[in-house]
Amino acid sequence: MARSCLVITDSDCIAEEGLALRKPVLLLQEKNEQKGYQFSGGVKQIGLKRAGIVEQTSRLIEEPNASKNLFAEFSMSGDGHAAERIAQAIKYYFGRAERPMDYKPKIQVETEEVNTNNNVEVNANAMR
């Protein structure tokens, strides 16, 4: 999986592994099966119809920026500084340091809109 350019699966576990490897994941599940990790970017539910699978897979392979656009500036595991914040919080609790700043992850949410031709358009909102 580490050597692949994308992951196509119907498994939530495989989707999570693909995200951990920073691979774009096309999830073969219907839209009503929303999972939390979709909002972090990298996973796109494309349903079970052949046309959608071919279209989205081709797009990720042929368009150089398509997989980059699928990912938001967000890591499911945080920013790599959690241990520092925990240590600061412990020091603060015992009165030996200033209160640490609150951690607020940056997340970019993509919304899909279906136009009259049944084409899906992705609209990326500004960072929140």
- Give the separation between CA 52 and CA 8, rounded to whole angstroms: 12
pLDDT in tens, 83-100: 888 999 999 999 999 988
Q: What pLDDT was estimated at residue 106?
A: 58
Residue 47's CATH number = 3.40.50.2000
In a domain, 37, yes or no: yes
* Contact by Cβ (8 Å): 85, 100: yes
Identify whether 23 is part of a domain.
yes
Mean pLDDT along residues 114-119 = 45
Q: Is residue 31 part of a domain?
A: yes
89 in a structural domain: no
Q: Measured in whole angstroms, how far is the alpha carbon of residue 73 from the centre of its chain? A: 9
**24-33 per-position pLDDT tens digit:** 899 998 875 5
Give domain status of residue 42, yes or no. Answer: yes
Distances (CA, A) of 41 to 18, 57, 70, 127: 12, 16, 6, 12
Residue span of the structural domain in which 37 resides: 7-72+107-124
